[in-house]
Amino acid sequence: MTLAAPTRLEITASTLSVKDLVGFASGAIIAHPMRSVLTSLGVVIGVAAVVMMTSIGLGAQKQVTSTIGALGSNLIIVRPGLPRGAGGQVVRQAAGGGITLTEADATAIKMGVDNVTAAAPVVNGQAQLSSDNANWSTRIEGVTPDYLTARDDSLTQGRMIEDREARTGDKKIILGKTVVDNLFPNEDPIGKRVRVDATPFEVIGVLASKGQSGLGQDQDDRAIAPIAAVRSRIVGRFVKGNSVQTVYVKAASAEDMTTVQEDLTNMLRDRHRIRDGQDDDFNVQNMASILEATKATTQTFTILLAAVAGVSLVVGGVGIMNIMLVAVTERTREIGLRMALGARRSDVLYQFALEAVSLSLFGGLIGLAIGVLGALAAAQLGNWPTAIPSWAAPLSVGFSVLVGLVFGAYPSWRAAQLDPIEALRRE
């Protein structure tokens, strides 16, 4: 027996049945707009919360990375701790009298610790700078030639301070872009004179712009000068002798940082005659370790926030299931009539499943839009980088569809299992 090929009428009927399913589902959603909106509200809130929380967490991580990275790569920062007396006891002294690091310590680190490319001693303070027509208060650092290498800085004009100038305290100065813009607008500052407080200095260079840090600090609002000149002319009452407030140590590579930190710690303990069991009189900060620890903390915080926000999606899914169960009860006669006219149980199943997925997907798209706008607004108000994850859109859509399928499955199955005769009898 030969099977006849399907006729055009049969193919058209099959195609229309799919359209009918979509039409029935959309019609049921449009017929009850308020209920549809309230049903989707849980998914809207859940998706918006997840997108906003992850964006805020990633923005915070970018901000911290930018702030730490601005200090310099492969950087170890050594700062003074509390000084000790002859017996090893901690000695608390007046301001400026207890700085435990010296320029000699920086030289010893550079010469005696392997894989160190620069060791820059620094003193710093605040000073009033003035030119012929303007004045500006800024941060000034006393440095040596290693400073640019240690801090990953560069010059756009002029030259760096020479080693002889750093030792003898020549009155030379290098300005940041913000200082140049305020003291010498539309002028070439090289060779010009500026008064630092009451002392005249010659401008020999301009630092390359770094812009704002992740915390909003202007990194171009600064000046650097020979360490001996800044110590004697600006911060002399706070920093005595050859003491320094910071030593920036640059390791040759990120892999060397842990070893360099251990070696310089041991060297400084020997130089400062610190016995076993006694605390260091200096503090060492490894920027790579701080960055990794901060990243781990912000990642954990972001995951926690996203998980808490994700609970709203589950709540939204439960809401969809409850409303769909109510809809099955309300439309029992409609379901029985459709089955009596030839609709299959699978048609009823697909229709209700499609309604649930549509409601959830609608809520997910609205939530995605709200989440993105909320993340942009939060970044603007908080002055941190905008960081909307690339997976936000596909994950929101996918998770919304999944919520609709999972929580719409039982109501759809229940609708499909109704007996047509009993359904028609239902008032």
Tell whether the model's pLDDT for residue 70 goes beyond 70.
no
Residue 5 or 415, more confident = 415
Spatial separation of the C-alpha atoms in residues 71 and 122, rounded to whole Å: 14
| Nearby residues of 411 by Cβ (< 8 Å), 6 or more positions away | 321, 324, 325, 327, 328, 352, 356
Residue pair 129/194 in contact by the 8 Å Cβ criterion: yes
Tell whether the model's pLDDT for residue 349 goes beyond 90.
no
* 77-119 residue pLDDT tens: 899 876 554 444 444 444 444 578 999 999 999 998 999 999 9
As a whole number, mean pLDDT of residues 384-412 equals: 77
- At residue 88, the pLDDT reads 46
* 166-225 residue pLDDT tens: 989 899 999 999 999 999 988 899 999 999 988 999 999 999 988 776 555 788 899 999
Residue pair 95/238 in contact by the 8 Å Cβ criterion: yes
Spatial separation of the C-alpha atoms in residues 187 and 193, rounded to whole Å: 13
Alpha helices in 187-245 (DSSP H): 227-233
Whole-angstrom CA distances from 246 to 101, 103, 281 are 8, 10, 13
- Cα-only R_g, the chain: 35
- At residue 4, the pLDDT reads 41
Q: How many residues does the chain have?
A: 427
C-beta atoms surrounding 2 within 10 Å: 4
Residue pair 357/407 in contact by the 8 Å Cβ criterion: no
Q: What is the DSSP letter of 197?
A: T
Instruction: For residue 396, name the pLDDT band (cuts at 50, 70, 90).
Output: confident
Residue 68 or 300, more confident = 300
- At residue 233, the pLDDT reads 86
- Phi, psi of 79, deg, nearest 5: -130, 155
CA 211 to chain centre: 17
Tell whether the model's pLDDT for residue 376 goes beyond 70.
yes
- At residue 208, the pLDDT reads 92
Nearest Cα residue to 262 out of 182, 416, 270: 270
Spatial separation of the C-alpha atoms in residues 371 and 378, rounded to whole Å: 10
For the ranges 71-80, 165-174, 258-267, 298-307, which has the lowest average pLDDT? Answer: 298-307
Q: How many percent of the chain have pLDDT more than 70?
A: 78
- At residue 95, the pLDDT reads 40
As a whole number, mean pLDDT of residues 44-66 equals: 78
Q: How many percent of the chain have pLDDT more than 90?
A: 25
Percentages (nearest 5) of helix, strand, coil residues in the chain: 55, 20, 25
- Phi, psi of 329, deg, nearest 5: -65, -45
Spatial separation of the C-alpha atoms in residues 174 and 190, rounded to whole Å: 9
Average pLDDT, the chain: 78
* 10-52 residue pLDDT tens: 333 333 355 665 666 676 667 777 777 777 777 888 888 888 8
Residue pair 120/147 in contact by the 8 Å Cβ criterion: yes
Residue pair 161/172 in contact by the 8 Å Cβ criterion: yes
Antiparallel, parallel or unpaired: β 172-175 and 199-207: parallel
**SS3 state of residue 16:** helix
- At residue 120, the pLDDT reads 92
Tell whether the model's pLDDT for residue 161 goes beyond 80.
yes
C-beta atoms surrounding 390 within 10 Å: 7
